[in-house]
């Protein structure tokens, strides 16, 4: 806090020698210069610098804009009439709408929205564009710092928490989690209600895009009926069948699931919700080729089928096919004997069938093989992929599980004692006279949790009417089921409702209620309902008592339900949700399999989970020297000495891996199926780590040419040809260097030293002159700008927490959170608590 023995604030106030003399005293280091400028621009906003010096600052800034910015960002360009033949650059400038020649830089309060746009452009250093004059780094950074501090002072004087939607529909994930926590019923609702599309920032919980169509209303009504039936254990109208398929490209040579026994190989374990106690048929089918010839049938094998970890049956098969088989690898094209063909195809159709009684509730069905170890003989064969994997029957290989099918109930013996029934039926009436009181107790408890607030008499009375209607044609359980269906389609359940304060003036600011605050917290951290502890605090008005918010945030982040934060926020911020929809070209990447896809996802989720639960600095997202791998992923990363399917934390050596930039998941979701993409990777870093997204690409962008005159081009050569268009050069100047620095990772994240016969050039230079080389250089560049990195993640967190897009008036709050977290080494707890304590999270603006 001191320079030359004096606090900064005394130097700012001591203006005897004038502002310029004081600045010169602080030029011993760039760090001191920046901190002094931060403080003194704040004093200027409070009027502690005299008018002459404030005028000098304004004149200097005006001169900077006129010299470097106004040449493009002026009224003549922005207001010009579009023409057919105009350049893309002109169109982009018009769309951006910055007329810096007419803006008053000495009065940012007149139009803070414009200046926040300028700050965002300056953050990444993309302006001025390449080949245009630009100020030196000290003046560039100084102007940005001045803008941010002036805007923060303007925001402090013009408080605006923004306005969330009054009705915020639960998205598919929130609906599933809410049903789980309300009824202790974790049901995959994907077949009941559709998934929600993400907004332009990649999040699917934005209230602006969560509309409710008539068709969706019908789906919710149907879903409520299905869920209520399962929850109370109603007898199904008939038997149903559900099949769980195992992907063909899942390599079944090791233990694949924690629910399967040690010493097992391959197979699968699935969780199935059995609706009632009764008899069910379980059918296990083996993996086949495209004409249904079972793989691995030449030798005898043993398969074990289990229920909740207990062995149900052990079956032996193989080595007994009659007749003459088809020639190896030609099954389906060249016939074997009729006897062999009939046997092999019939065996695949039948599978292994068990009919047995099963108790209601979620149960784990497993099918696997005892692991047999041997050393392969002969010449090692390459892995099959694509067409060959689908066609070849592999009669002498290990068999695999193809699917598990469950049919039932074939007969019913009762509703069972499921977790959901235990959660719902907190009382049991001995006779009809006790039913109304018991129904009231049950429905009051359910309504309180479902509506996320204390249930009033009107709420419960309405539900009791539905209970009575259901009771007429059924028993007590049927009445509760019908009332539960009403709860599940109630607007108080399907929507997070935030009401303006009674009598509040249009455009006024107010603190949201404690029940609304509790919902915001739970849907932010758990993507689900507030629990009893939060609701108890709300009922006694204690959620905003000193220290309580911090205590509750710490408790909630330690709860297993916080896994939803990893799945939902991190899954959308880092594009992990996209992993399942990417299929690398088998010809180019024959080593890719479903095991590697799952390992990519697990690595990143375990890494982020460890970061958050250990309350590490957000900077460690990039600087961490460890990761989580199993044998499959370790082999892909060339990490020796890792065996088995269990994931473990390992220290990393060298600079090839480490931090998020070394994760195969991120490299895969920012590539095309057949090649890497410096543009996608550069865009990802700009959007998600630096907070400076490039503008949308123009229509009809030509495909990237990957060869010229019969010669395969390196990615750098191909992109150089693409950037020959001057309009493309502006955006690519920031994206491409970042993307090139990650070219050592191929499209599935494997390290490589050369491409197209040439060593990979992973060096880059940004428009602001910063140079770097490879992922380690990029990592260092990002870590040199901690406020930008943490600020970008904070923006993402606040957008996800509020369920709305961020506006210019939210950016000062983001910077305030970052400054506060810097005092605690940018730890996750500081940033998350900062979001929850922020004005946009705690307050709301009435409708104008």
pLDDT for the residue numbered 26: 38
Q: How far apart are CA 591 and CA 664, in angstroms?
A: 14
CATH number at residue 367: 2.60.120
Whether residue 82 is found in the same domain as residue 195: no
pLDDT in tens, 746-803: 999 999 999 888 899 999 888 777 888 999 999 999 999 999 999 999 999 999 999 9
Residue 315's DSSP bridge partners are 303
pLDDT in tens, 457-483: 999 999 999 999 999 989 999 999 999
- Residue 272: inside a domain: yes
Per-residue pLDDT band at 729 (split at 50, 70, 90): low
pLDDT in tens, 40-65: 444 444 444 566 666 788 788 888 88
pLDDT for the residue numbered 66: 83
pLDDT for the residue numbered 770: 82
Per-residue pLDDT band at 350 (split at 50, 70, 90): confident
Q: How far apart are CA 467 and CA 593, in angstroms?
A: 52
Whether residue 262 is found in the same domain as residue 329: yes
CB contact at 8 A, 504 and 846: yes
Peptide bond into 280 cis (omega under 30): no
Cα–Cα distances in angstroms (integers) from residue 527 to residues 391, 556, 800, in the given order: 44, 12, 10
- Residue 836: inside a domain: no
- The 10 Å Cβ neighbour count of residue 636 is 20
Cα–Cα distances in angstroms (integers) from residue 777 to residues 514, 676, 768, 773, 782, in the given order: 47, 19, 16, 5, 9
Whether residue 289 is found in the same domain as residue 211: no
Q: How far apart are CA 117 and CA 99, in angstroms?
A: 11
Whether residue 404 is found in the same domain as residue 428: no
pLDDT for the residue numbered 16: 36
- Residue 502: inside a domain: no
Q: How far apart are CA 601 and CA 383, in angstroms?
A: 23
What's the mean pLDDT in 88-106?
A: 69
Whether residue 616 is found in the same domain as residue 709: yes
| DSSP string computed for 30-90 | HHHHHHHHHHHHHHHHTT-S-HHHHHHHHHHHHHHHHHHTTTTSSHHHHTSPP-TT--HHH
pLDDT in tens, 217-261: 999 999 999 999 999 999 999 999 999 999 999 999 899 989 999
- Residue 50: inside a domain: yes
Taking the alpha carbons of 219, 222, 225, 231 in that order, is the dihedral positive or negative? Answer: negative
Peptide bond into 128 cis (omega under 30): yes
Whether residue 93 is found in the same domain as residue 203: no
Map residue 637 onto helix, strand or coil.
coil
Residues 6 or more apart whose Cβ sits within 8 Å of residue 6:
none
Final residue in a domain of this structure, among 497, 520, 547: 497
Map residue 668 onto helix, strand or coil.
helix
CA 388 distance to own-chain centroid: 35
Q: Does the structure show a pLDDT above 60 at 8?
A: no
Q: Domain containing 655: what range?
A: 564-784
What's the mean pLDDT in 326-349?
A: 82
Flag the least confident range among 373-377, 526-530, 605-609, 839-843: 373-377
Q: How far apart are CA 799 and CA 469, in angstroms?
A: 43
Whether residue 405 is found in the same domain as residue 483: no
pLDDT for the residue numbered 30: 40
Residue 673: name the closest of 534, 546, 579 by CA: 579
- Residue 248: inside a domain: yes
Q: How far apart are CA 592 and CA 598, in angstroms?
A: 11
Flag the least confident range among 1-15, 227-241, 301-315, 774-788: 1-15
Residues of the chain with pLDDT > 90, as a percent, come to: 66
Beta strands in 116-250 (DSSP E): 167-169, 240-245
What's the mean pLDDT in 4-25?
A: 38
pLDDT in tens, 268-286: 999 999 999 999 999 999 9
Residues of the chain with pLDDT > 70, as a percent, come to: 86
Q: Does the structure show a pLDDT above 60 at 90?
A: no
pLDDT in tens, 105-156: 889 999 999 999 999 988 887 778 777 888 888 888 889 999 999 999 999 9
- Residue 331: inside a domain: yes
- Residue 108: inside a domain: yes
Whether residue 390 is found in the same domain as residue 254: yes
Helices 532-539 and 548-558: crossing angle in degrees, nearest 10, is: 170
Per-residue pLDDT band at 520 (split at 50, 70, 90): very high
Whether residue 259 is found in the same domain as residue 401: yes
Final residue in a domain of this structure, among 784, 808, 827: 784
Structural domains in the chain (count): 4
Average confidence score pLDDT of the chain: 87
Whether residue 597 is found in the same domain as residue 693: yes
Per-residue pLDDT band at 23 (split at 50, 70, 90): very low
Give the CB-side neighbour count of residue 271, counting CA atoms within 13 A: 9
Instruction: Please tell me the chain's helix, strand, coil percentages from 3-state DSSP, rounded to the nearest 5.
Output: 45, 15, 40
Whether residue 115 is found in the same domain as residue 196: no
Final residue in a domain of this structure, among 784, 802, 818: 784
Whether residue 309 is found in the same domain as residue 393: yes
Flag the least confident range among 4-8, 72-76, 437-441, 685-689: 4-8
Q: How far apart are CA 71 and CA 292, in angstroms?
A: 69
- Residue 548: inside a domain: no
pLDDT for the residue numbered 819: 96
């Amino acid at each position: 806090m001191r320079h030359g023995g004096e606090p900064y604030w005394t130097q700012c106030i001591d203006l005897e020698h004038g502002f310029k003399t004081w600045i010169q005293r602080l030029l011993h280091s760039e760090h001191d210069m920046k901190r002094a400028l931060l403080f003194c621009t704040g004093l200027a906003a409070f009027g502690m610098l005299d008018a002459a010096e404030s005028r000098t600052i304004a004149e200097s800034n005006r001169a900077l804009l006129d010299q470097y910015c106004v040449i493009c960002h002026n009224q003549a360009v922005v207001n010009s009439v579009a023409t057919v033949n105009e350049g893309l650059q002109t169109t982009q400038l018009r769309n951006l709408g910055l007329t810096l020649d007419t803006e008053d830089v000495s009065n940012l309060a007149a139009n803070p929205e414009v200046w926040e746009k300028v700050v965002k452009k300056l953050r990444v250093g993309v302006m001025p564009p390449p080949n245009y004059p630009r100020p030196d780094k000290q003046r560039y950074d100084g102007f940005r710092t001045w803008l941010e501090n002036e805007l923060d002072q303007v925001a402090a004087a013009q408080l605006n928490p923004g306005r969330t939607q009054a009705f915020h529909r639960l998205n598919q994930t929130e609906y599933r989690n809410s049903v789980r926590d309300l009824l202790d019923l974790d049901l995959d609702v994907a077949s009941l209600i559709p998934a929600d599309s993400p907004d332009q920032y990649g999040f699917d919980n934005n209230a602006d895009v969560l509309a409710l169509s008539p068709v969706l209303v019908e789906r919710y009504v149907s879903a409520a009926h299905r869920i209520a039936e399962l929850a109370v254990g109603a007898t199904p109208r008939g038997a149903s069948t559900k099949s769980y398929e195992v992907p063909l490209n899942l390599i079944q040579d090791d233990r694949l699931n924690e629910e399967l026994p040690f010493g097992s190989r391959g197979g699968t374990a699935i969780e199935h919700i059995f609706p009632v106690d009764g008899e069910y048929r379980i059918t296990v089918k083996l993996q086949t080729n495209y004409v249904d010839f079972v793989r691995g049938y030449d030798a005898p094998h043993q398969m074990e089928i289990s229920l909740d970890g207990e062995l149900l049956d052990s079956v032996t098969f193989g080595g007994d096919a009659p007749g003459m088989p088809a020639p190896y690898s030609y099954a389906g094209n060249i016939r074997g004997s009729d006897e062999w063909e009939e046997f092999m195809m019939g065996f695949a159709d039948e599978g292994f069938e068990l009919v047995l009684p099963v108790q209601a509730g979620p149960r784990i069905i497993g099918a696997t093989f005892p692991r047999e170890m041997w050393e392969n003989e002969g010449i090692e064969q390459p892995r099959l992929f694509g067409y060959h994997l689908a066609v070849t029957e592999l009669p002498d290989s290990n068999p695999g599980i193809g699917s598990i099918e469950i049919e039932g109930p074939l007969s019913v013996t009762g509703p069972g004692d499921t977790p959901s029934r235990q959660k719902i039926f907190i009382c049991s009436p001995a006779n009809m006279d006790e039913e109304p009181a018991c129904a009231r107790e049950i429905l009051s408890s359910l309504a309180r949790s479902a509506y996320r607030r204390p249930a009033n008499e009107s709420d419960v009375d309405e539900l009791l009417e539905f209970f009575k209607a259901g009771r007429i044609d059924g028993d007590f359980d049927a009445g509760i089921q019908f009332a539960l269906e009403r709860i599940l389609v109630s607007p108080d359940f399907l929507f997070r409702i935030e009401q303006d304060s009674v009598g509040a003036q249009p455009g006024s600011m107010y603190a949201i209620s404690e029940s609304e605050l509790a919902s915001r917290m739970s849907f932010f951290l758990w993507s689900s309902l507030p629990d009893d502890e939060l609701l108890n605090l709300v009922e006694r008005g204690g959620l905003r008592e000193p220290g309580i918010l911090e205590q509750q945030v710490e408790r909630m982040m330690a709860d297993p339900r916080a896994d939803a934060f990893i799945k939902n926020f991190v899954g959308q911020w880092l594009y992990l949700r996209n992993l399942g929809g990417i299929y690398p070209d088998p010809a180019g990447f024959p080593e890719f399999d479903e095991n590697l896809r799952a390992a990519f996802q697990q690595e990143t989720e375990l890494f982020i989970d460890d970061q958050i639960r250990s309350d590490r600095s957000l900077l460690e997202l990039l600087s961490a020297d460890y990761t989580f791998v199993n044998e499959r992923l370790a082999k892909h990363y060339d990490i020796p000495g890792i065996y088995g399917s269990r994931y473990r934390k390992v220290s990393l050596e060298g600079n090839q891996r480490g931090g998020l930039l070394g994760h195969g998941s991120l490299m895969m979701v920012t590539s095309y199926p057949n090649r890497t993409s410096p543009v996608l990777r550069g865009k990802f870093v700009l959007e998600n780590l630096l907070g400076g997204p490039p503008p949308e690409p123009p229509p009809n962008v030509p495909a990237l040419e990957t060869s010229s005159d019969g010669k395969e081009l390196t990615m750098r050569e191909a992109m150089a040809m693409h950037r020959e268009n001057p309009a493309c050069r502006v955006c690519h100047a920031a994206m491409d260097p970042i993307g090139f620095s990650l070219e050592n990772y191929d499209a599935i994240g494997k390290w490589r030293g050369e491409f197209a016969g040439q060593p990979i050039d992973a060096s880059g230079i940004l428009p602001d002159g910063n140079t770097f080389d490879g992922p380690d250089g990029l990592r260092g560049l990002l870590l040199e700008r901690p406020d930008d990195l943490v600020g970008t993640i904070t923006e993402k967190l606040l957008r996800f927490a509020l369920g709305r897009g961020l506006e210019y008036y939210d950016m000062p709050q983001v910077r305030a959170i970052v400054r506060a977290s810097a005092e605690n080494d940018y730890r996750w707890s500081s940033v998350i608590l900062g979001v929850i304590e922020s004005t946009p999270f705690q307050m709301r603006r009435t409708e104008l």
